[in-house]
Amino acid sequence: MALFITFEGGEGSGKTAQARALYRRLSRLAIPVLLVHEPGGTSLGRRLRYLLKRPQNADISPLSELLMFNASRAQLVDEVIRPGLEEGKVVICDRYADSTTVYQSYGRGLDLETVDTINRTATRGLKPDLTVLLDIAVELGLARKVKKEHDRFEREDVAFHRKVREGYLRLAAGEPERWLVVDGMLSKIEIGNIIWQRVSQLLSRGGMLPQ
């Protein structure tokens, strides 16, 4: 049984660290696992990531953003994610279609139905079995971003990031069976344990967890 797990969250939420931690834990248990991120994960995705993240490309329109993210996503799904799942692996993805929904629709203001339609087209309907949301107050998350140069999204104002957070919480409330919302202010160990409790349940049901 394959398993598709995605990690979501606003800037500074800690989702990338937790995605990597889960990958390491599964690897230690000799469970076949892949870790990918969006945008990226393929040659095309890496080129699009460079364009989308560069602060110098501030003039990219919201619709262009939507299409570029989904071009990267379509390539990643076809080239990496679907093949991994077909091989019975656990595939962990740091950001997926939900990111586009909240950033480009709730954040940028694009029509939600349009965003959903393009997301479904790019993924060909592939949805995660579990989506982990690391939720944190916007100001606290942004304060964690101490690197020298911030990307295009990190440079957005607080109002934009509040819309993104609101979008995430609405999505999670609408599909509670798929989403696991975790307080991003807990310690890394506490967060990891909460995530593992849910993941281990899914693995046990699928007979993937070593006895």
- Does residue 25 belong to any structural domain of this protein? yes
Percent of the chain past pLDDT 90, that is, above it, reads 83
Element of type H or E holding 197: helix 188-205
Average pLDDT of the chain is 94
- Say how many domains are in the chain: 1
Which pLDDT score, from 0 to 100, does residue 77 have?
A: 98
| 134 falls within a domain | yes
Please determine, for residue 211, whether its predicted confidence score (pLDDT) is greater than 70.
Answer: no
Please tell me the pTM assigned to this model.
Answer: 0.94
Buried b (16+ CB within 10 A) or exposed e, 82-114: bebbeeebbbbbbbbbbbbbbbbbbbbebeeee
**Residue 147: its pLDDT value, please?**
66
Assigned domain for 21 exists: yes
168: closest CA among 116, 92, 98?
A: 98
Q: Tell me the residue type at 83.
A: P
Rounded to the nearest 10 degrees, what angle do helices 43-53 and 62-76 cross at? 160
Domain hosting 85: range is 3-205
Picking from 105, 120, 88, 126, the residue whose alpha carbon sits closest to that of residue 6 is: 126
Burial category of 78 from C-beta neighbours within 10 Å (exposed 0-12, middle 13-18, buried 19 and up): middle
Separation of alpha carbons 9 and 141, rounded Å:
10
Can you give the pLDDT at residue 55? 79
* pLDDT at residue 148, rounded to an integer: 64
Residue 211 lies in a domain: no
Per-residue model confidence as pLDDT tens digits over 39-83: 999 999 999 999 998 878 778 999 999 999 999 999 999 999 999
Is the per-residue pLDDT at 36 higher than 90? yes
pLDDT digits over 142-173, tens only?
888 776 677 788 888 899 999 999 999 999 99
In a domain, residue 210? The reply is no
Q: What percent of the chain has pLDDT over 70?
A: 98
| pLDDT tens profile 172-190 | 999 999 999 999 999 999 9
